[in-house]
Amino acid sequence: MEDKVFVTGAGIISALGVGSEATLQSLLSGGSGIGRITHLETEHDEFPVGEVALSNAEMSRMLNVGYPIDSLRTVLMGIIAAKEAVASSKLLPRELRTAAFISGTTVGGMDKTERHFKTVFDSNTETEDSYELKYNDCGYSTELIADSVGKFSLVTTTSTACSSAANAIILGANLIKSGIVDIAIAGGSEALTKFHLNGFNTLMILDKDNCRPFDRDRTGINLGEGAAYIVLESEKSAKARGAEVLGILSGYANTCDAFHQTASSENGEGAYLAMRKAMDMARLSPRDIDYINAHGTGTPNNDETELAAMQRIWDYELPKFSSTKAFTGHTTSASGSIEAVICLLALRHGFLPQNLGWKNPIKDDAIPVLEKCNTENVENIINNSFGFGGNDSTLIFSKFHKDNG
C-alpha cells in the first residue's frame, strides 16, 4: 500500500498573529484580525484588510536580516512561517539537504517594484532603481526564503493565483509519493500591495465593511496577507525520525473548469471535481467529511457557486462548513497554506472555526458554523482553495491515530 503523507510541522503568520499558538488563541476567542490599513501606503484607506501587525522593520529585527530581505514583505513573512514549520518538525540541517522547498506566491516582490518602478519608467537610462526590479520575480522570493531557512535539494515556486499555496502542498505530496524526496516544506507567502488592492478594487469586489462569507447580503472580500508552510513527510521518514504527526494529507486534487478569467461556473464544476477527486484519493465518502474549510471569499459569485458544488455532493445535508477569511482576510496565494494550518489546528484541538459576520442565509439549508464548535469527533477536513481562471484545489487533512497510523 502506498505510504501515507504525514504532516510533521507547521508555521504561520497572518493578521491573527505570529505563530501557531497565537493563531489558535485568536481562532478560539473569535477575534478577527481585519482592520484599517496600517502598513500599506495607499490612498484607498476605505477598505478594511487583514494586515500582519508587524512592520518590515520589526520583522527584519526579529530575523536579524538586512538588504534586500528587509524591504521584501513577502520574503520576511515567508521566513518567519517557514522557520516555525521547520523548528516544530525538529528537522536537522542535514535532513533539509535532501528535502524540497516549494512556495506559492503571485505578487512576489511587487511591493519593492512599486517603490522603484516610476523612477525606472521615467528614466531614459539604466539607474540603481533598475536593479531593484529583479526582486519582483516570484521565484526570487522563494529562493530568498529557502536560503534563509536551510539548504535544500530542490527549490521551486507555484503561481496559480489563489490556489498557489495549496498547489505547492500538492506538488510536495507528489514528490514524496514518487520517491523523489522524503520531506517537503510547502506552502506560500503573499504581501499586500497596491497592485493587489487596486486590482481587486477595479474588479469591484472589495467590501468596505468586514466581509460576510456565505451571507445573503455579502458584497465582496477583505484582502489579507501572511504566510504559512507545513512539513510533509513520507510515513517511512516520519517513523524513522520518531516525528510527532500533526495530521495526514489523505487526499488532494487540482482541477480547472476554464469557465471564465475570474468567475466560477454556475454549477461550480471545478470546485465539485476538486472535492470529489480528493475524496476518491482519500478513499472517503461524503459522509466521512466532518468539516469543510470553504474558500468562501464573500463575493457574490464564489459563495453561490461553492455552495452549488457542495450541494451536488452532499445534496441538502451539508457537513459543517465555514470560511475563515473573515478572520484573516483573503490572503490570496497564501490562503491555501494559511487555512491548511488552521485545519490542522482544528483537527488537533477539537474545534471548528466560526463563520464571522454571517446573518442571513443564501439558501435556507446552507447555514455555516456560527459559533466556535468544540468537538472531539473531527476526523476528516476538506480545505478548498479556488483561483482565478478556475484553477481549483482541494486538500483533505485527516486525524492521525497512533494505533493505526
| Burial call 106-133: b when 16+ CB within 10 Å, e when fewer | bbbbbbbbbebeeebeeeeeeeebeebe
Average pLDDT over residues 350-363: 94
Cell of 370: 456560527
Q: Tell me the pLDDT tens digit for each residue of 364-378.
A: 889 999 987 787 789
pLDDT for the residue 377: 85
Give the domains, in start order, of the chain with CATH numbers. 5-241 (3.40.47.10), 251-398 (3.40.47.10)
| 259 pLDDT above the threshold of 80 | no
Average pLDDT over residues 125-145: 88
The whole-angstrom separation of Cα 34 and Cα 21 is 19
Please enumerate in sequence order all residues whose Cβ is within 8 A of that of 173, keeping only pairs 6 or more positions apart, or say none.
5, 184, 186, 232, 249, 252
> What phi and psi values does residue 204 have, to the nearest 5 degrees?
60, 45
Percent of the chain beyond pLDDT 70? 97
The single-letter code of the amino acid at 89 is: S
pLDDT for the residue 146: 98
The whole-angstrom separation of Cα 254 and Cα 271 is 9
Question: Mapping DSSP to helix (H, G, I), strand (E, B) and coil, where does residue 62 land?
Answer: helix
- The secondary structure of 345-380 as a DSSP string is HHHHHTEE---TT--SBSSTT-----S-EE-S---E
Determine if residue 152 is left, alpha or beta; phi over 0 gives left, psi from -120 to 50 gives alpha, anything else beta.
Answer: beta
H or E segment to which residue 336 belongs: helix 335-349
| 126 pLDDT above the threshold of 90 | no
pLDDT for the residue 1: 38
- Which of 335-339, 356-360, 375-379 has the lowest average pLDDT? 375-379
pLDDT band at 390 (very low <50, low <70, confident <90, very high): confident
The single-letter code of the amino acid at 330 is: H
Give pTM, 2 decimals: 0.96
pLDDT for the residue 404: 58
- Which of 91-95, 134-138, 288-292 has the lowest average pLDDT? 134-138
- Which of 38-47, 196-205, 330-339, 387-396 has the lowest average pLDDT? 387-396
**What proportions of the chain, in percent to the nearest 5, are helix, strand and coil?**
40, 20, 40
- Strands annotated E in 126-182: 154-158
Question: Mapping DSSP to helix (H, G, I), strand (E, B) and coil, where does residue 385 land?
Answer: strand
> What phi and psi values does residue 323 have, to the nearest 5 degrees?
-110, 135
pLDDT for the residue 59: 98
Among 123-137, 238-252, 267-281, the range with the most confident prediction by mean pLDDT is 238-252
Q: Tell me the pLDDT tens digit for each residue of 156-169.
A: 999 998 999 999 99
Q: Do the Cβ atoms of 247 and 350 come closer than 8 Å? A: no
CA distance to 94, 237, 241, per residue, from 90 (Å): 12, 13, 9
| 92 pLDDT above the threshold of 80 | yes
Cell of 104: 506559492
Average pLDDT over residues 109-125: 84
Q: Do the Cβ atoms of 16 and 327 come closer than 8 Å? A: yes
In terms of Cβ atoms closer than 10 Å to its own Cβ (0-12, 13-18, 19+), residue 5 is buried
Cell of 124: 531614459
